[in-house]
Amino acid sequence: MRDVNNIVKEGLKYSNAQFLPNNQPNYYKVIMDLGKSIGTKGETKIQVIVGADGKIWTSYPIK
């Protein structure tokens, strides 16, 4: 869990994060490209679903 928190923190700090609407009201999708491999299949981006209250609901690597 600590690694995921560090990846999200790094992504918000250093990448050009995209903040997008999500399928559910009051939830947002944040996509960050870290420019390095963070997933087991070489993914370089992470997608984070955030509630309007700022809590992270889920995060996972994407291509």
Average pLDDT of the chain, as a whole number: 88
The Cα 16–Cα 37 span in angstroms is 17
pLDDT in tens, 39-63: 899 999 999 999 999 888 999 999 8
Task: Count up the domains in the chain and report the number.
Answer: 1
pTM for the predicted model, two decimal places: 0.80
What domain range is 18 assigned to?
Answer: 2-62
The Cα 51–Cα 38 span in angstroms is 23
DSSP tag of 11: H
pLDDT in tens, 9-34: 888 887 789 999 998 899 999 999 99
Element (H, E) at 61: strand 56-62
Q: Specify the pLDDT at position 60.
A: 92
Q: Specify the pLDDT at position 13.
A: 84
The Cα 4–Cα 10 span in angstroms is 10
Answer whether 21's CB lies under 8 Å from 12's CB. Answer: no
Confidence of residue 1 (pLDDT cuts 50, 70, 90): low
Paired tokens of 61:
């690597």
